Structure 1
Amino acid sequence: MSDERTYGEEEVAEIFRMAAEARNAGGGTSLAPVNGFTLAELQSIGGEVGLAPERVAEAAAAVDLRRGALRRSELGMPIAVGRTVDLPRAPTDREWEMLVADLRETFGAKGRTGSRGEVREWSNGNLNAFVEPTPTGYRLRLATTKSNGVALNRMGAASLMMALVTIVLLYVTGALAEEMLAPVMLSMMGGGALAWNALRLPGWAQQREEQMEVIAVRAAALLGAPPAPRLSGNGDPLLIPG
C-alpha cells in the first residue's frame, strides 16, 4: 500500500474551497473514496474544473499546516494557542533574520532572539517562536499564553467560591438577610471577571491562530526552496573550494 499522503472528504472540500478562492471563484468536492485522495488525484480533479495544480498544492499545504494547530482552554475559554510546522531543513542565518523580521511585523513586537545549540528562539513575553531539530528534520514551534486571562479566570472562580461559602455560613448563623451584600458583591465581581474573559478570549485566540498560520505558511515556503548562495561584497556568489 502506498505511503503517499491521502486526504479525506472534509479535507478535500477544504482544499478545493481554498484553491478556488485563490482565483476568486467558489468550489469544492465531496464523495471522497474510503482511503481518500492523493495530492496528484486532487490536482487532476482540480484541473478538470479550471484550478491550477499549484493552487491545489498550496491549498493542500495549508490544510496540512492547520493540523499542527494547538489550543488549551480553562473553564471552557481559550488561554493558550500554538502551532507546529515541520521544516525540510534548518534556516540559514539570513533566512532566520527574515523569519524574525516576519515575526516582528506580524505580531507588532520587537522581541528578543537567542540560540542554544541547534535551537533558535524569538520571544516577546509569553509569545515564543522556536526552530528546533526533530528526528526527521526541523520544526517551527509557535506558542503563546494569555497570562492575564488565566489570572482573571482564577480570580473570578475564587470570588464565586467565596460568595457561595459566605452564603452558606450566613444561612447557618441566621444572618443571611442582614449580611447579604457581601456575597452579592463577591458574586458580581466573580461573574464579571468570567464574563469579560468569555467575551475577549475567543477573539484573542482566533487572532493569534491566524497570525501563527501566516507565519507557518511563510516559513514553510521560505525553507521549501534551496538556500540562497552567499554573496561576496560585489554581489557575486562566493565560490567555496571543494
Structure 2
Amino acid sequence: MVKHTPNPTEPLSFLKEFTQARIALGSTGSSIPTKPSLEFKLAHAHARDAVYSVMDTEALADELEQFHLPVLQLHSRATSREQYLQRPDLGRLLDELSVNRLADQLENDGIVLILGDGLSATAINQNALDLLKLLMPKLQSAKLKLAPLCLVEQARVAIADGIAAELGASLSVILIGERPGLSAADSMGAYLTYMPRPGLTDDSRNCISNIRPEGLPVAQAADKLFYLIQESLSRKLSGVALKDNEGLLPNE
C-alpha cells in the first residue's frame, strides 16, 4: 500500500494508507480540488477502456504452449462486444464452431483451465500467464490430469460449464476479467466448479477475486487456487459447501 503524508487539514487522510478508495479528497468551496477530480475522470476512462479491451489470443496461445497441452481457441455466441454487454446470456454459451471443436477432442475427466476475457481482457493479458506459471507446476507435481487449455472470447463465467461438459472434465477453473472499478481496471477472478454442467448457478462455484499486482498477488492466488482444487477433488464438491479453511488458526 502506498504511503501517504498526513494532511493536517483533512483528519481522515491517514486512512489512505489502507485503501485505494477515494476518501479524504479535500474540498475547494463546494467542490473537490482539481487533482482528485481529474484522477476520477482518468480512472473512469481506464475502466471504460478495460471493458472494451481485446484479449491477445495469439500471444496468449503462443505462451500457453510452454505447458505442453493442446490449446483451443473458442468463442461465445456473442458476436460483438456490444452484443456481449447487452446479452449476458449469449456470453454463457459456446457458438457452434466452438462446440464442434470441443467435440473433436477426446473426453478428459480431469481439470480444464480456461482463460476468458470477461469484462476486462486487460486483466487476462496482464495477469493470467503469471498465475499459470505458478499454478501449472503444482498441478503437474500432484499428477493431476489436465484437459486442453481453452481461450474464450466474449466469455461469461458460466461458459466454463459448457466447455467442461463437452470435454467430460470433472473440474473447471476459469480465469476471467472482472468488472473494472474506479480503482482497479486490471482485476482478474478465478472461478472453480466441481462437476460443472450447464444450468449451474453461482452458489456452485468458489471464487478468488481481485488478482492483480495492487490486489491479491498472483503467488498467493496460485497457492489458494491449488488448495481449493485439491479440496474440491478430495471432497467432491465446490461452492458454498466447500469452505476455505486454509490459513485458519488450529483449535486449541
TM-score, with normalisation over the residues of structure 1?
0.26
**More strand per residue: 1 or 2?**
1
Q: Which of 1 and 2 has greater Rg?
A: 1
TM-score, with normalisation over the residues of structure 2?
0.25
